[in-house]
Structure 1
Amino acid sequence: MDVCSVKNALRLQQREARDFMDPLTRQEASAVACRHAIEAWEQLRIDRNRDRLTVFSYLSFGSEISTTPFIEHCWSRGDRVLAPRVDPVTRTMELRQMGQHDDIVPGIWNIPEPAPTCEKWVPEMWSEIDWVVVPGLAFDRHGGRIGYGGGYYDRFTVQVEAQKRDNGNAGPLYVSLLLPGQLQKQVPMEPGDLRVDVLFTPEGPIHCDIAKSEKTNDE
């Protein structure tokens, strides 16, 4: 079976498992994973000695782990919060800055997104982002990720990396919030697939850069 077929089978399996998860379990896991993310976010604020940070996060929908507690915390600290507006025709994302819940409207397939009136961040600004909170269906300890198959975040990462090279910025850290059962031993990856730097599980954070180096040493 080719990698694409394996990915699609895993997507179907993980979607079903997530959809059938007890809502209270999902809510509690979301709260705990977000709490771990908030602790790391505040440590980043200290490390970088900055009052204001910038995050680009998806807006959770359906049975996804909720990003709301993290986003609300960022708003409470005066941070800049960006979210995607998706163009299904061009298969690209626009990044728009939101300041409150009223800035969120139903988008395509009723997935929440920033209102068209929200300020747009052009690609030249993307390397100023501190964190990108990436959605996904399955992950592994080496940063491997199975997304929804659209490739939006993979293409976004390519543009960010190009900006990093042009202006010398460190660029963002890629992080994900995980529900129980989403951490796999290994997920199939292809060249060009986005790898995540940190996973925030209900049990605590997993730093994938460390895990990657350990894997290399083992080999």
Structure 2
Amino acid sequence: MQSSSTANIVDDKKVLRKKVVAELKKLTAAQMHSESSQIADHILKADFYQRCKRIGVYIHCAPLREVDTSKLVTAVTEADKRCYIPVVQDREANMRLIHLDTLEDLKPAPPFNILEPPPTYADGRPREDVLEMDAPLDLLLMPGLAFDSQGRRCGRGGGYYDKFLARCQQRAQQHGWDPPLLVALAFRAQMVGAVPMCPYDRSVDIIVTADGMLSCSTRSQQLQLC
């Protein structure tokens, strides 16, 4: 049973989501294309991106008006890096990040026709899974609905990233690895004064908007962002 304080936070999140969704609907296609391109350029020029070898990046969902990651996915797959794409497993907030070796393998998946890699490579082998591989994920480029300058993140309510990040953190601790650097991509309209947070919510290290990079954690403050 939720405590009264947690219930209030959940209600506050619902109000915030409704407000930000309304703001996103005001964005034109040209605005979203321009901001997405600038965001991608900031990331690709960043020192932390250049150093990372294993990178998770979401495939954007156009109906949800997420920052377009097409340029980023292409860049990671064509560079000397390994690219991992989120794949939803079920309605219990479980998702995997699996290896994408070529853009040609991406196929639309229901219900939103978001592109995903199939579970196996062309030769039938299971694709490498971030939660099963023998090396850490260095960087995770994340979506979200609302963010504030402290790195607090409000998702869309599914809990997929919260659950995945908890498992990823646990695995990193077990192996003595650093957890992945968490970098959120956001349109200007997604930045708000303050995001209400439940105990299980995770903040991000860096937020990237068209205006540049915002350092949100002690870890990110120690990095050279560009």
Taking structure 2 as the reference length, the TM-score comes to: 0.84
Q: How many angstroms apart in 1 are the aligned matches of 2:48 and 2:61?
A: 27
Larger CA deviation: 84-93 vs 25-34? 84-93
2:193 is the alignment partner of 1:189 = no
Q: 1:145 to 1:87 in 2, by over 3 A?
A: same
Q: How many residues align?
A: 207
Q: In structure 2, which of residues 155, 159, 179 is the aligned counterpart of residue 151 of structure 1?
A: 159
Tell me the CA shift for residue 95 of structure 1. Answer: 1.6
Q: How many angstroms apart in 2 are the aligned matches of 1:108 and 1:84?
A: 14
Whether the 8 Å CA contact 1:127–1:172 is kept in 2: the answer is: no
Tell me the CA shift for residue 127 of structure 1. Answer: 6.2
Could you tell me which runs of 5 or more consecutive residues in structure 1 were left unpaired when the two chains were aligned: 214-219
Q: Secondary structure of the residue that 1:120 maps to in structure 2?
A: coil
1:75-126 CA-partner distances (Å, limit 9, x unpaired): 2213111111102333201221112222211122122222222413152438
Whether the 8 Å CA contact 2:141–2:184 is kept in 1: the answer is: yes
Q: Please tell me the residue identity of whatever aligns with 1:116.
A: P
Q: Please tell me the residue identity of whatever aligns with 2:119.
A: P
- Structure 1 equivalent of residue 133 of structure 2: 125
Q: How many angstroms apart in 2 are the aligned matches of 1:153 and 1:126?
A: 21
- Structure 1 equivalent of residue 88 of structure 2: 86
- Structure 1 equivalent of residue 116 of structure 2: 113
Tell me the CA shift for residue 57 of structure 1. Answer: 1.2
Q: How many angstroms apart in 2 are the aligned matches of 1:124 and 1:113?
A: 19
Tell me the CA shift for residue 210 of structure 1. Answer: 5.0
- Structure 2 equivalent of residue 21 of structure 1: 27
Q: How does 1:49-68 map to 2 (within 5 A)?
A: 53-62=53-62, 63-68=65-70
- Structure 2 equivalent of residue 160 of structure 1: 168
Could you tell me which runs of 5 or more consecutive residues in structure 2 were left unpaired when the two chains were aligned: 1-6, 122-126, 222-226
Q: In structure 2, which of residues 147, 162, 175 is the aligned counterpart of residue 139 of structure 1?
A: 147
Q: How does 1:174-213 map to 2 (within 5 A)?
A: 174-209=182-217
Taking structure 1 as the reference length, the TM-score comes to: 0.87
Q: Please tell me the residue identity of whatever aligns with 1:53.
A: K
Q: Please tell me the residue identity of whatever aligns with 2:48.
A: L
Whether the 8 Å CA contact 1:132–1:175 is kept in 2: the answer is: yes
Q: Please tell me the residue identity of whatever aligns with 1:208.
A: C
1:110-145 CA-partner distances (Å, limit 9, x unpaired): 222222224131524386111111110110111100
Please report the RMSD computed on the Cα atoms of aligned residues, expressed in angstroms. Answer: 2.2
